[in-house]
Amino acid sequence: MLRGLRGRLIASYVLVIFVCLVLAGSAVVIVLRDSQQKGRLDEIGYLSVLTSLQVRAFELAGVPTPQIAFMLREQSRALGVRVILADRTGRVLEDTDDELDGQVVRLPGPEPTDRRGTAFRAYFAATDQGMFLVSPPLDMRPTNYAVILAIPQANVAAAWLELAPSLGMAAAVALVVSILVALFLTRSISRPLVRMTRASEEMARGRYDQSIPGGGTDEIGRLATAFNEMARQVSASDRAMRDFLANVSHELKTPLTSIRGFSQAMLDGTIRDADGYQRAATIIDDETNRMRGLVDDLLTLSKIESGQIAMDDARVDIDGLLRETVRRSDWQLEGRETRLTLDSRPGAIVRGDARWLAQVFSNLLDNAMRHAPRAGRITIRAVARADSNDVTISVHNTGSFIPPEDLPRVFERFFQVDRSRAGRGHGSGLGLAIVREVVQAHSGTVIATSDERDGTTFVVHLPLHELTASPPIPFAPRRVA
């Protein structure tokens, strides 16, 4: 059990609790011992005063010494203390324990060093008995006698032992309660860690859809939240990787099938005339170019993601960049009644790589042209805001709709909203993924919104570097019939 985290925590808690109980108990014992000893000695001192007053009264009444000694012996048995009666020279006249009769004891001096109430206390070691001898003050002693109450030093030192059973019981109860609390605390700490360990082991086996209950603002709660987020991202990455491999295989399989089919037909004699050879060669060339474009896009995307492509840091005029992009792409609208509108004003300057930013807007415009209907509308709008210090470029087309559940995935590699269009020459499926990577490389963001009636809009936000005042350049809407 001690090999696990919970066992080590419990052991450490029990050790700390035990040490604290030992230290606290030692301090309590020391305080109680001194308190009990003081109380015991004060009690003997009080009895010594009472006994001395009785002896003085007997002396004044003329009671002989043997009778006084008999009275003291009876009182010793009643009080449970040892009483010694001595004369003024210190010679013992009566010892209720019959050990010091006839011997001389040293009485407390006129200025004793320790006073407890009305009694003086002194330690006498002359008899090697280890006794505390308590005698009342001089003014309370009889004229010819000295009354001394004796108590063994061991009895005084052991006075606190009367409380030992209660102290031991309290310490045992405190230890048990502390251990129970430690078990509860260690369980609350170790349970999420155990769950994380099991979930991590499952993830190591390739099962990434792991989640552990947790939350809160403490370290364990934040760790559980971070773990769940990590597991979610790992699961999403694994799913994206699987989709990527499947999509690459599919995208490459289609042109390879065409190339193999027509090349086989050329080899086995199925195609005999020159026109057939020409048509087969054209298809093979088109499919080869398509595969090359797909591979080039994959390499480009991988280089951008890994940071192998160094982006320039130059001034880029967004209005001029958009106008040049439209000029190069509007030939694709020939033969269609699609209306293309550019709403942009000069003066919005950003810093970045003009070639890659042109690729971003070219990809977005190409995507809009492919999804807009023949009589649809495409609108490109650029708005610079000095207060928020950014430039917003939106590319909107009517006639297409992206379901809400697909919006977060439109920037994934090879993702197609209309699965039936995949692999039919409608793009490599990497254009929007390249858009996202290039925009993020320029410290910007790109999002997609879609509405069934209004269409789809891609919005790019870029940091504004400079905003200059320039007269607008008109751009007439383009319609090619």
Domain ranges, ordered by start, for the chain = 5-159, 208-308, 311-463
Taking only the tens place, the pLDDT of each residue in 371-410 is 888 888 999 999 998 888 899 999 999 988 999 988 888 8
Task: For 208-308, give the CATH class.
Answer: mainly alpha
Mean pLDDT, the chain, integer: 79
At 123 the three-state DSSP class reads strand
pTM over 0.85: no
Pairing of strands 455-463, 445-451: antiparallel
Alpha-carbon dihedral sign for residues 395, 398, 403, 409 = negative
Residue 125 pLDDT more than 50?
Answer: no
Spell out the long-range contacts of 274-282 with Cβ–Cβ below 8 A and sequence spacing 24 or more: none
Taking only the tens place, the pLDDT of each residue in 279-336 is 888 988 888 888 888 888 788 878 887 777 888 889 999 999 999 999 888 787 777 7
Q: Which two tokens stand for residue 389?
A: 């210090």
Interatomic CA distance for residues 368 and 254, integer angstroms: 24
Residue 77 pLDDT more than 70?
Answer: yes
Which CATH superfamily hosts domain 311-463? Answer: Histidine kinase-like ATPase, C-terminal domain (3.30.565.10)
- CATH classification of 5-159 is 3.30.450, yes or no? yes
208-308 and 311-463 have identical folds: no
**Beta strands per DSSP E along 67-130:** 82-87, 92-95, 115-116, 119-124
Query: Which residue blocks in 205-317 are alpha helix, DSSP H?
Result: 219-267, 274-306
* pLDDT (average), residues 249-268: 84
pLDDT of 150: 76
- Within a 10 A sphere around the Cβ of 158, how many other Cβ atoms? 15
Query: Cβ(437)–Cβ(305) under 8 Å?
Result: yes
pLDDT of 439: 94
Query: Cβ(448)–Cβ(401) under 8 Å?
Result: no
Taking only the tens place, the pLDDT of each residue in 180-219 is 887 787 777 777 778 888 888 888 888 878 888 766 677 7
The DSSP element (H or E) to which 466 belongs, if any, is: strand 466-467
Taking only the tens place, the pLDDT of each residue in 80-124 is 788 888 887 778 888 888 777 777 776 655 444 444 434 444 444
